[in-house]
Amino acid sequence: MKRGKTFAATVALAAIIALSWLVVPTAEAGGEGIPEVLRLLNEVLANQALILERLEAPDLVPNPYYHHLGPEGPEDFCRILESGKLWVSVYNQSGGGAVPSVTQVLFRVPADVPVQKSCGVGCAQVDLATPAMGAFASVVFEVAIPEGCFGSAFGPDDINNCQFKIYVDGTNLLNESNELNNSAFGACQGLL
């Protein structure tokens, strides 16, 4: 929290300095520049609490990379391990920690395939207990791919293509700084 406050104070100071150069009082302006700087300063200070809150809120995202610091392949979320399981990673890209949550992986399967947990017709759902995550931390799961995800039941143009969607914080337990980046679509082409 201390680092977030220092960062916010630095941003506020930089904004004040930058704005003061824009509204330097001139003889023609009758000295109106200083009240404008003070008004802008008050606005920055009023928004400081909101800035700090956003810096301290978690922001979980599906992570397509084996390591969050850089790509080791395309951003397609298709990572099949030697075990035949799907590699799924969740990354907290914020400076705030996250409490335990649930990551959901939804697989497309033929309608007649029995599944452990259904998310509708032709959908198999896997819930992953996601532990508490500190700032800039990640967690990795190995997910069993349900029977029928790879196959020929989806039509001649879509043979052997396993499609899935990853939802971090799938049950909306967290108050995140950005709720719009919680899902990602993936597809893996397999061998029959």
Which position has the token pair 């704005």? 19
Same-domain pairing of 116 and 140: yes
Domain tally for the chain? 2
Q: Strands 123-130 and 101-108: what pairing?
A: antiparallel
pLDDT computed for residue 102 by the predictor: 97
pLDDT computed for residue 1 by the predictor: 45
Same-domain pairing of 26 and 121: no
Q: Which residues contact 10 (CB under 8 A, 6 or more apart)?
A: none
Q: Mind listing the pLDDT tens digit for each residue in 26-81? A: 545 555 667 777 777 777 777 766 666 566 789 999 988 755 444 555 567 888 88
Average pLDDT over residues 150-164: 83
Same-domain pairing of 179 and 112: yes
Same-domain pairing of 19 and 40: yes
Same-domain pairing of 143 and 161: yes
Same-domain pairing of 39 and 76: no
Higher pLDDT, 119 or 10: 119
**Per-state percent for the chain, helix, strand, coil, to nearest 5:** 25, 30, 45
Same-domain pairing of 96 and 155: yes
Same-domain pairing of 48 and 72: no
Using CB atoms within 10 Å of the CB of residue 103, give its burial: 0 to 12 exposed, 13 to 18 middle, 19+ buried: buried
User: Looking at 41-45, 65-69, 90-94, 121-125, which range is the least confident one?
Assistant: 65-69
Domain that holds residue 45: 2-56
pTM exceeds 0.75 for this model: no
Q: What is the mean pLDDT of the chain?
A: 80
Q: What is the CATH number of the domain that holds 161?
A: 2.60.40
pLDDT computed for residue 69 by the predictor: 46
Which position has the token pair 């049950």? 171
Same-domain pairing of 48 and 68: no
In whole angstroms, give the CA distance from residue 77 to residue 95: 24
pLDDT computed for residue 25 by the predictor: 52
Q: Strands 60-63 and 183-189: what pairing?
A: unpaired
Average pLDDT over residues 106-110: 94
- The percent of residues in the chain predicted with pLDDT above 90, rounded, is 40
Mark which of 56, 80, 99 sits at the end of a domain. 56
Task: Find which of 5-14, 49-58, 171-180, 182-191 is predicted with most confidence, using mean pLDDT.
Answer: 171-180
Same-domain pairing of 29 and 91: no
Average pLDDT over residues 131-148: 93
Same-domain pairing of 76 and 140: yes
Q: Mind listing the pLDDT tens digit for each residue in 145-154? A: 998 898 777 7
8, 60, 172 from 3: Cα distances, Å: 9, 20, 27
